[in-house]
Homo-oligomer: A and B are copies of this chain.
Amino acid sequence: MHPFTRHHADSVSALGEEKLIAAIRRWLGTASPRAPFGIGDDCAVLPVARGRQLITVDPVIYGRHFDDSVPPRAVGAKLLKRNLSDLAAMGGRPTAAVLALTLDARVSRKWLEQFYRGLAACARHYGVPIVGGDVAQADGIIAASLTLLGEARGRRIVTRTGARVGDAIYVTGQLGGSLRSGHHYRFTPRLAEGTWLARQAGVRAMMDVSDGLAKDLRALTPPGAAPALPPGSLSLRPGCTVAAALSDGEDYELVFAVAARTDLARFERAWKRAFPRTQLTCIGRFIAAKKLPPGVVDLDKFHGYEHLKQLPRS
């Protein structure tokens, strides 16, 4: 669905701000509590947090994260799910979200209604109250930025730092071809998996795969080490090459390091009991960089998705 309309009467600018905000509250429905715990005051009052609090922010932008082929309801859901995936990577559960919307005055009300209804349905599904927001105007753009709050109730928070030489590297699900297959908006964030993994003592470091494994894995790699991935170890989405699995991005899977001393067979059996439908693949190990054996995947050949890297424009 194309988000812009040529007919002023169908556009958000025909509504004006006050009616638009009233409409947004209607579209969000029970996903947005009443003020002061939701939209309608200078700030929103947050629910009381029980564990350590986490925060993350990620946008969806027209032409970057979605186009006319993505249903607007799915765009709204994708916005929340992208952030939930970041929370999953720290073993957190969501508690609340706020949304900053920047949009052209010619955006169609129909498109925007579906966007908010999709966001609201997703927010209800994952139990995330949308407690606040802002709507601002800018020409030629639709950009929505969501700030997600969460909590980690376990004894520890798993970060990207902590992997060591010898640790096994695991990835959930399949990689590659996210745009082509529609996975980039149909994915399910690995929230339950993330909180389970954060409780396993052997899991030393974790992150989500969003810019392509080749790029993201660098952030998980301890100093002086390198990931040794045997060819054929990756779990590819049907029809995908290894290059696609390493570079495409928007996989929204979890990649994590498990301590060398862990009984991996036992760990994998426990995973299967907990998540019989989520694939788990050991893709290799971190080894000392100078000991990298021949024949492993050369990650330097793959760059993943680098934002803002463009050829000069005239």
Which A residues form the contact surface with B (CB < 8 A)? Answer: 8, 12-18, 20, 35-36, 40-46, 48-49, 52-59, 61-64, 86-87, 89-90, 92, 96, 98-100, 102, 105-106, 131-141, 143, 145, 147, 149-150, 152, 157, 159-161, 207-208, 306-310, 312-313
Contacts and interface: CB of A to CB of B under 8 A. Distances in A.
B57 A53 contact: no
Given A36-B157, A52-B45, A140-B140, A57 B98 contact: yes
Contact of A102 (B15, B92, B143): B143
Contacts of A59: 100, 102, 134, 136
B137 A143 contact: no
Given A16-B306, A17-B309, 8 more contacts: A8-B312, A12-B308, A36-B161, A43-B56, A55-B96, A57-B133, A61-B138, A100-B100
Contact of A42 (B42, B44, B56, B134): B56
Contacts of A14: 312
B8 A64 contact: no
Chain B CB count within 10 A is highest, among A12, A46, A55, for A55
Secondary structure call for the A interface: mixed
B207 A132 contact: no
Contact of A132 (B18, B56, B141, B307): B56
Nearest to A11: B312
A145 B134 contact: yes
Contact of A143 (B17, B43, B87, B143): B143
Nearest to A151: B46
B308 A15 contact: yes
Contacts of A53: 45-46, 48-49
A22 to B, nearest CB: 13
Contacts of A55: 43-44, 46, 96, 98, 131-132, 147, 149
Nearest to A92: B43
Contacts of A150: 43
A67 B100 CA distance: 21
7 tightest Cβ-Cβ pairs between the two chains A and B: A8-B312, A100-B145, A147-B147, A46-B53, A42-B89, A17-B307, A43-B54
A21 to B, nearest CB: 9
14 contacts: A13-B310, A35-B160, A36-B157, A41-B159, A42-B87, A43-B92, A45-B52, A56-B98, A57-B99, A61-B102, A64-B138, A102-B141, A102-B143, A106-B313
